[in-house]
Amino acid sequence: MAANTPAQTGMDAGAVSHEEVDWDSIDWNTAHRNVCRLQMRIVKATKAKKWGKVKALQRILTRSFSGKALAVRRVTENQGRKTPGVDGEIWTMPSQKAQAIQELRQRGYHPKPLRRVYIPKSSGKMRPLSIPCMRDRAMQALYLLALDPIAEVTSDPNSYGFRQERSPADAIEQCFSALSRQNSAQWILEGDIKSCFDQISHEWLLAHIPMEKVILQRWLKAGFMEKDVLHVTEEGTPQGAICSPVLANMTLNGLEKELRKKFPKHPRGGSNEKINFVRFADDFIVTGKSKEVLENEVKSLVEQFMRERGLTLSQEKTLITHIENGLDFLGQHLRKYNGKLLITPSKKNIHTFLKGIRKVIKANKQATAGNLIAQLNPKIRGWGNYHRHVVSSKTYNKVDHAIFQALWQWAKRRHPHKPHTWIKKKYFKSSGGQNWVFTGEIFGREGTLQPIRLVKASSIPIERHIKIRSEANPYDPEWETYFEKRLDVKMVHNLKGKRTLLHLWKQQGGLCPLCNRKITKLTGWHSHHIEWRSHGGRDQTGNRVLLHPECHERLHRQGLTVSKPRPSRGVRKA
C-alpha cells in the first residue's frame, strides 16, 4: 500500500481537506467506515424524529472528504461513466477524479442543464432520458449518501423498487403471500401513474424532502438541452439523474400507511377488507375483498394521495381485475386456476425477450457461431434468472425451442447448398446427455480457440425466492448480520456454475484483499493473476485472487502486489 497523503490521514468523518489529493492513495476502507458511521447516526436520529440532528449530520456528511471521494468513485465506476453531459466532459484519469473531489463544493454551485436523449419503450414510444454533467452527477451522489438512509426509514414496508437489497422477486413473493390462500383477496387494483417522473410537483418536493432546499431547487430547475435549445422545467424530476429514483420513492411513500389507516389490520392478521399493498417504483397493486371497495373507496383514496403530489392515475391503464382472470405485474402473470395461484412469465415479457433474441441473430448473419453464442448467452441467462423463482419450466422449454428454430434458420441461410445432416454436424453437438446443443468456438484469454455452448433457459434451476423482511434496513446496524447472511447466499448463487470464482470468493471470505471491502454482484469483480502470465504465472486458483474492478485498475496502475489470503472457513449459511 502507498503511504498516506495529507488528504488521506485527514479523512475524518467531517474533515474537508484543501490539500492536493492523490486518488490512488485514498484509503477506501476508511472512507466507507466514515460514511457508514454517519449514515447509521442519521438512521438513529430519523427513527427518534430528531430532525435538527438529522440535518446537522447530513451537513457533516455532504462536506466530508470521505463522502465526496465515494461520490466521485460511484459516478466514475457505474455504467454511465463514459456518457458525457452537455459539457462533453468525462472523468477517466486519476488526476481528473482527484480534482473533482476538490471541486465538489456547495458554495457557488450551479448545476448545468441536462442533455436530453430518447430511448425506445416496450410500447414502441420513446422515453425521455436526461443526462447530467459529471460534476452534477457527483453532487447528486454525494447528497444521496445523506438522503437514502432517511428514505429507508420512512419507506413503505412493501415498496421494493430502487431500494438497496430489494428486487422484483421480493415484490412478486409478497404478491404470492397476499393472493395465494383460499381465503385471500380476489380482486386487484392495478395502479398506473401517468408520467410519474415528469409530473411530480416541485412545490411538494421542496416542502417534504429532507435535504438542503437550495441544492434541491437548483437541480429541479436546471432545465434540459434538446437540439441546442434550453427548456425550463417547472415540474417533475428527470429520468436518468442519480437522485431521481429516491425522490420518486419518497414522493410515493406513505400510500401504504394511508391505506392501513383507513383499513386497519385485524388483530389476527390482515384487514377485514383484505387490503394489501405492493409497490415497485411507480407500479403498484392493491388487493381487496370486493370490486366495490376497490372502486369506491381505495381508488378515490389513491387519487387524492396522488393529487397532493401533482400526480394522476392513468384512467386507461388503472384496472380492477379478478384474480381468476389474471394480471401482469413486473413481467409476471398472476392468476388463480381452480383456487390455486400460479405465477408464470407473462406473454408480453416472453414476446419482448424473443424479439430481442431474433434481432441479435438477424444482425449477426456473418458472425461466427462462437461470437453469436457469446452475445446470446448473457441475454438468455439474465432472462432465465429473472424468472427462476416462479412457475417457468414449461416456458423455458418453449423459449429454448423458439431460439433453436431461429438458430436453425440462421445456419441454413449460411449454407444454402449443404444438406441438413452436414449443418447439424457442424453447429449442433451432443453435450452432457443433450443433443442439438448449438456450439461454436471463441478465442480465450490465452489467444487459443475454445469451445463455447449456447445456454439453455431450461438448464436454469427453479428456486423459491426468500423474500426480504419488510422492516429490514441496510443502514441500520441492528440488521447487519441479517444482510450479511443474505449476501453470502446471493453470491453463492451468482457464482454457481463458476467453480473457480466461487472457490476464490469463499477462500477470501467474500472480501477484496486490496481494500478489504465486500465483493458483490453490484461491485463486480476481476480475477487477478498474482504472478502475471507474462512473467510465467500459471492460470490456476493458487495464482489468482478476486479484486474489485477499481482495485484491479489501481493495482496495475501503481504496480502494487497482492498476496494470496489465508483460506477462509467459508461463508455463513442462512
Q: Is the pLDDT of residue 494 over 80?
A: no
Least confident of 182-186, 447-451, 498-502, 567-571: 567-571
Instruction: Give the mean model confidence (pLDDT) for residues 112-133.
Output: 86
In the structure grid, which three cell numbers stand for residue 392, read together? Answer: 417457468
User: Above pLDDT 90, what percent of the chain?
Assistant: 68
Instruction: Give the mean model confidence (pLDDT) for residues 243-252.
Output: 96
Q: Is the pLDDT of residue 120 over 50?
A: yes
Burial of 325 (C-beta count, 10 Å sphere; 0-12/13-18/19+): exposed
Instruction: Give the mean model confidence (pLDDT) for residues 236-262.
Output: 94
Residue 270: its pLDDT value, please? 60
Q: At a CB cut-off of 8 Å and minimum separation 6, what does 53 contact?
A: 45
- Return the amino acid letter for 346: S
Q: Are 431 and 437 in contact (CB under 8 A)?
A: yes
Alpha-carbon distance of 540 to 415, in angstroms, equals 40
For 278, the 3-state DSSP assignment is strand
Instruction: Give the mean model confidence (pLDDT) for residues 505-514.
Output: 87
Residue 4: its pLDDT value, please? 43
Chain mean position to CA 463: 20
Q: Is the pLDDT of residue 574 over 50?
A: no
Going along the chain from its start, the domains and CATH numbers come out as: 28-154+202-234 (no CATH), 155-200+241-343 (3.30.70.270), 358-379+393-459 (no CATH), 477-558 (1.10.30)
User: What is the reported pTM?
Assistant: 0.85
Instruction: Give the mean model confidence (pLDDT) for residues 445-467.
Output: 89
